[in-house]
Amino acid sequence: MPSNCLDINFVRSCFPTFAEPLAAKTAFFENAGGSYVAGPVLDKLMHFYRINKVQPYGESEILKVAGTQMDAGRQTMADLLGVPVANITLGASTTQNINTLAFACAPLVSSGTEVIVTDQDHEANIGAWERLCERQGATLVTWPINPQTGELDLNDFSTLLKPNTAIVCLTHSSNIVGTINPVEEVISRARPNGTRVVVDGVSFAPHQWPDIPSLKPDAYAFSSYKTYATHLGVMYVADDFLDTLDPQCHYFNRSYKNKLLDSSGPDHAAIAALDGLGDYFNNSHAHHFGNSDITLYQKAQQVSGLMHAHETDLCKQLLDGINDLPINIIGRNHCEGREANIALTSAKHSSAHLSRALAAKDIAAGNGDFYALRLLEKAGLKDTQDGVLRISFSHYNTTDDVDRVIEVLRSIH
Ligand SMILES: Cc1ncc(COP(=O)(O)O)c(C=O)c1O
């Protein structure tokens, strides 16, 4: 029984957090900060800590079992993404993974070469490249936003792209603006130039599971603690890019491709628990589409389509419910081409006041710059510390959650 609609009751039953009194009474819109964790991920995490919390791999059975679980976690993440496991780096966070990648890019960047970053990105995908350019004597070039819309214009990119542009780093969708950037087009313009494209998918992946085989980026990074799993950074790096980079691992690990950019060795249990994310997508697929022997990558794409459609409906509900209020939406005030991640300011109240008013009614939505300080400055926000109120959705949010937000925002305007 193929389904074209997300079963929200099923979804919420997969997240044990909703059975807890605090989460049960909270309308949670802090998802861009970090999502709740799917049940199968929690199960695998607990299992590892309870049974196998040892230094993995070795001769004794307990070490072997721990290593096998970690291998399963890595393999499942690769299967979900439809890419070889050797091309996946698991790090403590995306900030750390991109920083490591930037160090590794030293052979590609020197005096006379340029690196493009955007004003729309989270600092994780700007600062690391700025520091690389400083170390290497290269030039950092900024792809500006349109200060009115907060959006990036492809024509500006074409003007900035030069024969000596080594790397372009951009976000798939900003954690403030929410517009889905034309990454395919950036890649197709950059590739003939020999320019590498590094995509920050942290804000995109929770709303639409990344389709790396179709996109074909040189590198793609996101954070699994925002995609209903454990606190890790996940980074794909294409073979021919990896081959040009300086290894950042211990010298004796250089023969292992998936260790080349592994500079930290994150929590073993968190890696093992990624296997549970495969179970979550698998179970969701079986529930919505029936039993099927398509790949995990295909299942994740199909389930993600349902999640995205559900979130888009909720996003529209919110935008329609507040469109007559003295509220400025950062980016598009409609859902076309954007994620369900709404940042706004009010003509009447500070963003902190909005956040407090929502919190008083058990609605979680924070305010601030969300580490996209350059974006807020370029968009002309006067008080960047107060910043924006951010209402970020996940597929487990309900129409009732959104009604509650609308009610509070209407009552104070
Ligand atoms: C768009 C974006 N990029 C990068 C990051 C950094 O991710 P991490 O916390 O895993 O370092 C964030 C974190 O919120 C983000 O929203």
What are the pLDDT digits (tens) for 216-265? 999 999 999 999 999 999 999 999 999 999 999 999 999 999 899 998 88
In the reported structure, the alpha carbon of residue 253 is separated from the centroid of ligand 1 by a whole-number distance in angstroms of 28
Q: What are phi and psi of 384, to 5 degrees?
A: -75, -20
Q: What are phi and psi of 346, to 5 degrees?
A: -115, 145
Residues 230 and 260 in one domain: yes
Q: Whose CA is nearest to atom 7 of ligand 1?
A: 94
In the reported structure, the alpha carbon of residue 193 is separated from the centroid of ligand 1 by a whole-number distance in angstroms of 28
Domain count, the chain: 2
Residues 49 and 171 in one domain: yes
Domain span at 122: 45-276
CATH at residue 165:
3.40.640.10
Do 273 and 73 form a contact (C-beta atoms < 8 A)? Answer: yes
- Would you state the structure tokens that stand for residue 286, as one six-digit string? 């079986």
Rounded Cα–Cα distance for residues 99 and 198 (Å): 12
pLDDT level of residue 4 (50, 70, 90 thresholds): confident
Residues 271 and 315 in one domain: no
Q: Is 35 touching ligand 1 by the criterion CB < 6 Å?
A: no
pLDDT for the residue numbered 3 = 66
CA dihedral (146, 402, 175, 36) in degrees, to 10, reads -170
Last residue of a domain, which of 276, 294, 319? 276
Q: Is 37 touching ligand 1 by the criterion CB < 6 Å?
A: no
Q: Which of 31, 94, 183 to mutate to test ligand 1, by most ligand atoms within 8 A of the CB atom?
A: 94
pLDDT for the residue numbered 2 = 56
Q: Which of 100, 203, 232 to mutate to test ligand 1, by most ligand atoms within 8 A of the CB atom?
A: 203
Please tell me whether the overall predicted TM-score, pTM, comes out greater than 0.85 for this model.
yes
Q: Which of 175, 176, 373 to mutate to test ligand 1, by most ligand atoms within 8 A of the CB atom?
A: 175
| Straight-line distance from the first to the last Cα atom of the chain, in angstroms, rounded to the nearest whole number | 45
In the reported structure, the alpha carbon of residue 340 is separated from the centroid of ligand 1 by a whole-number distance in angstroms of 16
Residues 71 and 199 in one domain: yes
| pLDDT over 60 (residue 1) | no
CATH at residue 385:
3.90.1150.10
Rounded Cα–Cα distance for residues 316 and 209 (Å): 20
Residues 170 and 206 in one domain: yes
Mean pLDDT of 100-127: 98
Residues 20 and 64 in one domain: no
For 256-268, the pLDDT digits (tens) are: 998 999 988 899 9
DSSP per position, 55-88: ---SSSHHHHHHHHHHHHHHHHHHHHHTS-GGGE
pLDDT level of residue 97 (50, 70, 90 thresholds): very high
CA geometry: angle at 89 spanning 142 and 180, to 5°?
40
Residues 198 and 165 in one domain: yes
Query: Has residue 283 been placed in a domain?
Result: no
Do 209 and 300 form a contact (C-beta atoms < 8 A)? Answer: yes
